[in-house]
């Protein structure tokens, strides 16, 4: 085996030397710089690249500012006769030859080689690039490939490989975003079975997986596949579910795939074909295509590397016709984007070499110590030299920052050209039109990536295969005779929802909803029902859902609640029943009695009302006492006035006038509070006296949690785990039941006779249970929000279509009619009873009381300050020398006095003091005289 690979390496070296790709002579700065080019002259890319490279060399050599004193000389090698293909052709012959014969041939090649090569443009294809990169790494010769797009050709594995075009990493990211943009989930990949095809599709799978999409079928083709082999593979593709087909091949045989697909009727309505940039290359290079070829690709979406419009690009396009005038023997050659990148690659290399020379670099070669150890024979492998400045030249290449025909050229840290972008084109009629762009920094948009405009994530309309603008659904039910296996629960109780009527048949509300939704689908969906359960106990819906992930069932239909742990396993449709957990318990009639008038308010509410009545009366008396005669008189009368005024406001029957500003403010707010209390009391009392009340010791889930009574639940329901895990109810309190009759018996017996205090279940079941059992009722509020849906495998395209059908059933009223058919019961609908109305609690009126209290306190505070100021102004002067108790008694007497009396006494005291001073002044004047 080692001898075999040694022969492969020697043959490959022979080919490289024969065509001048690798050289061994050393020099400094030569007048002629030898560059190798490995391309395929007969391909769409190669024949354009050949002309573009020749034009670029001529332009570089005629530019006086680049490579002054040095000319580029490019020796082109047709890779159809070299590289891995040449090795494959030569290897059987050399395997039959002796080692000495190979030695002689390779020695002759070494003697024939006469030029020095510092870089290689190419190889054109990724397969050859993988092999040649090993040699270039060994000899430090940079490879600059404008078309080898295999993402695995990274700078980590192959440090001397430089991609001057775009990696398929970005092209596949664009395709994944197109798939997501149109809402598709699954694609089929058709590709060539080589490094280019396999690695590109592997990247596509990763990009799709990141967006919760996937490749459902990888249709790989041999590079030498015959028409029959392609036909057989496309037949398998046609039998698959997905209709989104991604074609990642070479331009040499990609059109053959479309031709056969067209003959098979696969390029028609319902299909989506996305071709990588090989198709746009064919269209640009060989346009116009024949009428038959264009018919084969109608409606196809393809990608093309985006090259922004510029003066340089327009000038080169105008020159293209003259440049290809000699090459038109086999027809006109159009300019594709690879030609622009090939042209820029030459200039890129020229700038790098020029930078190397300007930095003082030379061109020299040295011996490879490892090859020097191989001596003897005619091969002379020790004659191969390493390019000493190869690493410096590689560094200069990666540091180039220029603008070429393809736009700005600058490398990122990964060795890729920055800001890759693609045009998205749609083949229509005799040509194509652009429907948008994609770039790695702005995503999908109708705005060119080089335009500084906001991205709106939109595309222009597409004409799809079949000449339709309506977006294809992207999948069909596979026409292989297989029926969907729909699992339905074999229930024991509540069979109105779903029941098994045969080995593959079912009935009930859920079944009718499912079949009605199927009738609205735009395609036939063959199916059969498969019962799940033993018929003796209600089966677990969670286990039924799990069997979908195991592949036992293709879907599940029934009373399946959409809960968190189930959504982690499958996808659910739009809910067709809104449901949640409720508590059902025994209730009894509660007739009105002689104390019914007290029931509207809770005891605390009554207490707060009484306290506020008295407080408001006292505060109003305080504010009015000194000014209003209605609030004066003997103490006994004043106390009666306070009580009378307080409680008369309840009926707005108070007779006392309010004269102070603060008193009016307080009474206005209080009367508003009284109005609200009266209205609420009247409404609640009316309900109590006119509507039959039902009472139950269980008030809801909270009272049930706080007790130690047993709780019933339906066997197989998620309720058990919910009560244990979420509500922390002890498992010993839970009692499972299988039928509605067991529910009823347990509730009648109660917790003291071996029954249960209440039953917790979904509202849909409880409402059906209560429709014929009026002695029970729902107590409290619904404490979860759930719904029922049909379960399908993750990312199943049926989910969206079935959800849309369910919404249509709801909108046209069919869903309600199905509900009435199976679930409408009238036994208890006219009873008019309800659970005892909750008493009005203080929390409902707390804001009113706070508002009233604040107003009272504010008025009382300001009033007190006024009293203190008046007391200090009008009090006797000798009060300051009296004791504290005397001052307090005097202040209280002052407050109790009428304000007019206080002011009159103060005025008289002022007059007396004035008269007394005058008399003293008169006597003093008389004595002095």
654 backbone dihedrals φ, ψ, rounded to 5°: -70, 140
Q: Which uninterrupted H or E stretch holds 299?
A: none
Domain ranges of the chain: 32-84+92-165+335-410, 168-309+420-445, 484-579+787-823, 596-688, 694-779
Burial class (CB in 10 A: 0-12, 13-18, 19+), 894: middle
Give the neighbor-by-neighbor strand order of the sheet with 571-572: 527-532, 484-489, 555-556, 791-792, 571-572
Question: What is the chain's mean pLDDT, rounded?
Answer: 80
Q: Mean pLDDT, to the nearest integer, of 751-758?
A: 86
Instruction: State yes or no: pLDDT of 458 exceeds 70.
Output: yes
Collapsing DSSP to helix, strand or coil, 154 comes out as coil
At how many degrees (to 10) do helices 884-896 and 846-874 cross? Answer: 110
Instruction: State yes or no: pLDDT of 46 exceeds 80.
Output: yes
The two three-digit tokens of residue 544, written as one number: 């039924």
The two three-digit tokens of residue 808, written as one number: 């249509």
Block residue for tokens 């957990």? 581
Q: What is the pLDDT of residue 124?
A: 85
Give the neighbor-by-neighbor strand order of the sheet with 143-145: 71-78, 32-39, 117-121, 143-145, 161-163
Closest CA to 747 of 781, 773, 783, 719: 773
Q: Mean pLDDT, to the nearest integer, of 747-776?
A: 86
153-167, 570-584, 662-676: range with lowest mean pLDDT: 662-676
Neighbours of 296 (CB within 10 A): 21
For the ranges 21-35, 77-91, 702-716, the maximum mean pLDDT occurs at 702-716
Q: How confident is the model at residue 918 (pLDDT cuts 50, 70, 90)?
A: low
Instruction: State yes or no: pLDDT of 182 exceeds 90.
Output: yes
Q: What is the pLDDT of residue 849?
A: 65
d(CA 423, CA 434): 7
Q: pLDDT tens-digit profile of 440-453? A: 888 899 999 887 66
Q: How confident is the model at residue 14 (pLDDT cuts 50, 70, 90)?
A: very low
Burial class (CB in 10 A: 0-12, 13-18, 19+), 536: exposed
Neighbours of 903 (CB within 10 A): 14
Instruction: State yes or no: pLDDT of 4 exceeds 70.
Output: no
Instruction: State yes or no: pLDDT of 396 exceeds 80.
Output: yes
d(CA 171, CA 200): 9
Q: How many CA atoms lie within 13 A of 397 on its CB side?
A: 28
Helices (H), 649-754: 661-690, 701-706, 719-725, 740-749
Query: What b/e string do you get for 355-378 counting C-beta neighbours within 10 Å, with b at 16 or more?
Result: bbbeeebebebeebeebeeeeeee
Instruction: Strands of 282-413 (E only): list them.
Output: 301-305, 365-367, 385-387, 401-404, 407-410
What is each CA distance from 533 to 537, 730, 911, in whole angstroms?
7, 28, 109
Check residue 53 and report its DSSP letter: H
Please tell me the chain's helix, strand, coil percentages from 3-state DSSP, rounded to the nearest 5: 50, 15, 35
Percent of the chain with pLDDT over 90: 34
Q: What is the pLDDT of residue 340?
A: 95
The two three-digit tokens of residue 260, written as one number: 């056969």
Angle value at C-alpha 473, between 470 and 479, nearest 5 degrees: 130
d(CA 23, CA 9): 16
Q: pLDDT tens-digit profile of 370-380? A: 655 555 444 45
Q: How many CA atoms lie within 13 A of 826 on its CB side?
A: 2
Q: How confident is the model at residue 669 (pLDDT cuts 50, 70, 90)?
A: confident
Q: Which of 664 and 23 is assigned the larger pLDDT?
A: 664
Q: Mean pLDDT, to the nearest integer, of 894-923?
A: 62
Q: What is the pLDDT of residue 832?
A: 43
CATH code for the part of the protein at 32-84+92-165+335-410: 3.40.50.2300
d(CA 445, CA 726): 47
Partner residues linked to 739 by β-bridges: none
- Domain range 168-309+420-445, CATH architecture: 3-Layer(aba) Sandwich (3.40)
Instruction: State yes or no: pLDDT of 107 exceeds 80.
Output: no
Q: What is the pLDDT of residue 585?
A: 85
Please tell me whether the peptide bond between 123 and the residue prior to it is cis, using omega within 30 degrees of 0: yes
Q: What is the pLDDT of residue 884?
A: 65
Contacts (Cβ under 8 Å, ≥6 apart) of 366: 26, 385, 386, 388
Question: Which pTM was predicted?
Answer: 0.67
Domains 32-84+92-165+335-410 and 168-309+420-445 share a fold: yes
Q: Mean pLDDT, to the nearest integer, of 175-187?
A: 93
At how many degrees (to 10) do helices 798-811 and 509-519 cross? Answer: 100
Q: What is the pLDDT of residue 139?
A: 80
25 backbone dihedrals φ, ψ, rounded to 5°: -85, 145
Largest CA distance in the chain: 165
d(CA 102, CA 454): 63
Closest CA to 335 of 44, 41, 56: 44
Q: What is the pLDDT of residue 595?
A: 59
The two three-digit tokens of residue 100, written as one number: 């000495």
CATH code for the part of the protein at 484-579+787-823: 3.40.190.10
278-292, 407-421, 511-525, 877-891: range with lowest mean pLDDT: 877-891
Block residue for tokens 């592949």? 551
What fold does the segment set 694-779 form as a domain? Answer: D-Maltodextrin-Binding Protein; domain 2 (3.40.190)
User: How many residues are present in the chain?
Assistant: 929
Q: Mean pLDDT, to the nearest integer, of 661-687?
A: 77
Q: What is the pLDDT of residue 927?
A: 64
């Amino acid at each position: 085996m080692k001898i075999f690979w040694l022969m492969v390496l020697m043959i490959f070296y022979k080919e490289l030397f024969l065509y001048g790709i690798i050289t061994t002579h050393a020099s400094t700065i030569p007048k002629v710089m030898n560059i190798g080019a490995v391309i395929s002259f007969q391909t769409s890319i190669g024949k354009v690249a050949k002309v573009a490279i020749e034009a670029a060399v001529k332009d570089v050599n005629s530019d006086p500012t680049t490579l002054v004193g040095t000319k580029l000389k490019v020796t082109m090698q047709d890779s159809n006769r070299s590289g891995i293909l040449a090795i494959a052709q030569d290897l059987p012959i050399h395997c039959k030859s002796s080692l000495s014969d190979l030695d002689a041939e390779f020695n002759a090649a070494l003697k024939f080689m006469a030029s020095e090569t510092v870089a290689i443009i190419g190889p054109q294809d990724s397969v050859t690039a993988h092999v040649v990169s090993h040699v270039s790494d060994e000899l430090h010769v940079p490879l600059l490939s404008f078309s080898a797009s295999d993402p695995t050709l990274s700078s980590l594995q192959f440090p001397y490989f430089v991609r001057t075009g775009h990696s398929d990493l970005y092209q596949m990211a664009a395709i994944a975003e197109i798939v997501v943009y149109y809402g598709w989930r699954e694609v089929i990949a058709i590709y060539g079975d080589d490094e280019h095809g396999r690695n590109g599709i592997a990247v596509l799978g990763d990009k799709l997986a990141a967006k919760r999409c996937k490749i459902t079928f990888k249709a790989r083709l041999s590079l030498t596949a015959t028409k029959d082999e392609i036909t057989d593979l496309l037949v398998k593709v046609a039998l698959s579910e997905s209709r989104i087909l991604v074609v990642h091949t070479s331009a040499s045989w990609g059109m053959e795939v479309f031709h056969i697909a067209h003959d098979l009727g696969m390029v028609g309505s319902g299909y989506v074909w996305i071709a990588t940039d090989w198709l746009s290359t064919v269209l640009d290079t060989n346009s116009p295509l024949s009428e038959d070829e264009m018919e084969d690709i109608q409606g196809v979406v393809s990608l093309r590397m985006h090259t922004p419009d510029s003066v340089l690009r327009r000038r080169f396009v105008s020159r293209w016709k003259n440049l290809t005038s000699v090459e038109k023997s086999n027809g006109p050659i159009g300019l594709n984007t690879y030609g622009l990148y090939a042209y820029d690659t030459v200039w890129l290399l020229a700038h790098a070499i020029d930078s190397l020379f300007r930095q003082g670099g030379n061109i020299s070669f040295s011996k490879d110590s490892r090859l020097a150890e191989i001596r003897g024979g005619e091969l002379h492998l020790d004659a191969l030299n390493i390019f000493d400045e190869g690493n410096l030249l590689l560094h200069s290449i990666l540091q180039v920052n220029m603008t070429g025909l393809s736009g700005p050229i600058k490398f990122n840290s990964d060795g890729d050209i920055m800001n890759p972008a693609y045009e998205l084109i749609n083949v229509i009629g005799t040509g194509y039109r652009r429907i948008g762009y994609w770039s790695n920094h702005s995503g999908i948009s109708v705005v060119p990536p080089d335009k500084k405009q906001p991205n709106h994530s939109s595309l222009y309309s597409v004409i799809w295969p079949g000449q339709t603008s309506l977006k294809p659904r992207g999948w069909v039910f596979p026409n292989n005779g297989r029926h969907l296996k729909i699992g339905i629960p074999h229930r024991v109780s509540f069979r109105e929802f779903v029941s098994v009527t045969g080995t593959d048949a079912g009935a009930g509300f859920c079944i009718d909803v499912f079949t009605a939704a199927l009738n609205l689908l735009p395609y036939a969906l063959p199916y059969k029902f498969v019962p799940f359960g033993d018929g003796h106990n209600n089966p677990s819906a969670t286990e039924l859902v799990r069997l979908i992930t195991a592949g036992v069932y293709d879907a599940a239909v029934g009373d399946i609640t959409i809960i968190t742990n189930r959504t982690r396993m499958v996808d659910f449709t739009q809910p067709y029943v809104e449901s949640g957990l409720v508590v059902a318990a025994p209730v009894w009639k509660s007739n009105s009695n002689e104390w019914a008038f007290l029931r509207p308010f809770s005891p605390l509410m009554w207490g707060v009302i009484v306290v506020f009545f008295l407080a408001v009366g006292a505060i109003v008396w305080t504010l009015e006492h000194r000014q209003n005669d209605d609030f004066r008189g003997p103490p006994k009368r004043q106390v009666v006035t306070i009580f009378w005024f307080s409680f008369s406001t309840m009926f707005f029957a108070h007779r006392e006038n309010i004269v102070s500003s603060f008193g009016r403010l307080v009474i206005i707010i209080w009367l508003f509070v009284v109005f609200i209390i009266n209205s609420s009391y009247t409404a609640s009392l009316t309900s109590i006296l006119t509507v039959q009340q039902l009472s139950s010791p269980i008030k809801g889930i909270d009272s049930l949690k706080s007790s130690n009574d047993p709780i019933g639940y339906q066997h197989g329901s998620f309720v058990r785990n919910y009560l244990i895990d979420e509500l922390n109810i002890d498992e010993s309190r839970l009692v499972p039941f299988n039928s509605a009759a067991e529910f009823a018996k347990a509730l009648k017996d109660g917790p003291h006779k071996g029954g249960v205090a209440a039953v917790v279940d979904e509202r849909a079941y409880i409402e059906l249970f209560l429709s014929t059992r009026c002695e029970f009722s729902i107590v409290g509020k619904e404490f979860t929000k759930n719904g029922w849906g049909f379960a399908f495998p993750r990312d199943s395209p049926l989910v969206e279509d079935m959800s849309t059908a369910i919404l249509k059933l709801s909108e046209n009223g069919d869903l309600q009619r199905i509900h009435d058919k199976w679930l409408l019961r009238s036994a208890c609908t006219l009873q008019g009873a309800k659970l005892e109305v909750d008493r009005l609690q203080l929390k409902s009126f707390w804001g009113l009381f706070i508002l009233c209290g604040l107003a009272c306190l504010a008025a009382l505070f300001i009033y007190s300050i006024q009293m203190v100021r008046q007391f200090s102004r009008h009090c006797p002067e000798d009060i300051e020398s009296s004791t504290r108790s005397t001052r307090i008694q005097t202040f209280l007497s002052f407050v109790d006095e009428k304000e007019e009396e206080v002011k009159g006494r103060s005025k008289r005291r002022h007059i007396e003091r004035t008269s007394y001073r005058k008399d003293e002044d008169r006597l003093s004047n008389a004595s002095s005289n």
